[in-house]
């Protein structure tokens, strides 16, 4: 599905008020898609107060862990334009050891991480796919849409303190091929991107010494990835009709050490 042919088609981006989601929403809007950005109310308020909200993007307050809310928001987005693209960027990245100085890993924190990163991704994937299935195919292959999820290199090399995060992102990776096969009869492709270290607001909260150490681990280019590079990869995935069921690492050849 060439992006030029998708002008005026609908796209949903979760986590669309900042970081990877904001860059992806902007890229798809620049390519002429009718973009709806999902995010928490606080994130949307912040982007509006900063003056960085775009008039060509519709911002909708949605908690991706709320299945009913996701269903309503996806239906509303599909009314604006036939839905063809959905990108899952919403996520959290807590850190806690399974057994640490404060005791065992907080069970609620683990469950919340799974709910946001994995179950939230599943909610959006499910309702977006249903909306795409209701559209007419765009080509002779019968293609109706594409979903791009966000995994992480932690899905493959989870570090100390990343049990919850790695489990959630490993789930996203494993979901990818199963969802691609499930949705193949409907003409819907499913892929995931597994970023390494990316310069986002989440990264800015980490102390400078650790950020420098992380950056030094990347073989080449020896720097953090930029959100726009993630967005460009999403655009490439959307545009390559034979790319399906794949998790693509975007990491500069980084392989994470234990800590």
Catalytic residues: 165
Average pLDDT over residues 130-151: 97
Write down all domains in the chain, each with its CATH number in brackets: 3-250 (3.40.50.720)
The SS3 of residue 166 is helix
Q: Which sign, positive or negative, has the C-alpha torsion 258, 226, 15, 4?
A: negative
Question: Would strands 83-87 and 145-150 be described as parallel, antiparallel, or unpaired?
Answer: parallel
Task: Report the b/e string of 76-99 with b at 16+ CB within 10 A.
Answer: ebbeebbbbbbbbbbbbbbebeee
pLDDT of 202 > 80? The answer is no
pTM given for the model: 0.95
Burial of residue 222, with CB atoms counted within 10 A of its CB: 0-12 exposed, 13-18 middle, 19 or more buried = exposed
Eight-state DSSP code of residue 153: G
Strand-pairing partners, residue 190, are 147
Tens of pLDDT, residues 233-247: 999 999 999 999 999
Tens of pLDDT, residues 220-236: 999 999 999 999 999 99
The SS3 of residue 65 is coil
Strand-pairing partners, residue 150, are 193
């Amino acid at each position: 599905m060439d992006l030029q042919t998708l002008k005026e088609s609908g796209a949903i981006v979760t986590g669309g008020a900042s970081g990877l989601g904001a860059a992806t929403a902007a890229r798809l809007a620049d390519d002429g898609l009718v973009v709806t950005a999902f995010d928490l109310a606080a994130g949307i308020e912040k982007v509006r107060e900063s003056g960085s909200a775009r008039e060509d993007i519709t911002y909708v307050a949605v908690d991706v862990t709320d299945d009913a809310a996701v269903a309503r928001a996806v239906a509303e987005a599909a009314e604006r334009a036939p839905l063809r693209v959905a990108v899952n960027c919403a996520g959290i990245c807590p850190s806690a050891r399974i057994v640490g100085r404060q005791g065992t890993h907080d069970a609620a924190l683990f469950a919340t991480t799974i709910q946001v990163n994995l179950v939230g991704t599943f909610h959006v994937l499910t309702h977006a796919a249903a909306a795409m299935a209701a559209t007419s195919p765009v080509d002779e292959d019968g293609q109706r849409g594409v979903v791009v999820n966000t995994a992480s290199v932690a899905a493959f090399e989870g570090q100390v303190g990343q049990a919850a995060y790695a489990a959630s992102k490993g789930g996203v990776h494993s979901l990818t091929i199963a969802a691609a096969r499930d949705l193949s009869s409907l003409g819907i492709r499913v892929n995931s991107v597994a970023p390494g270290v990316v310069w986002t607001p989440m990264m800015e909260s980490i102390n400078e010494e650790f950020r420098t150490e992380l950056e030094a681990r990347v073989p080449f280019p020896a720097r953090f990835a930029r959100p726009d590079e993630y967005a460009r990869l999403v655009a490439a995935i959307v545009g390559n009709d034979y790319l399906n069921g794949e998790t693509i690492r975007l990491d500069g050849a980084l392989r994470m050490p234990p800590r």
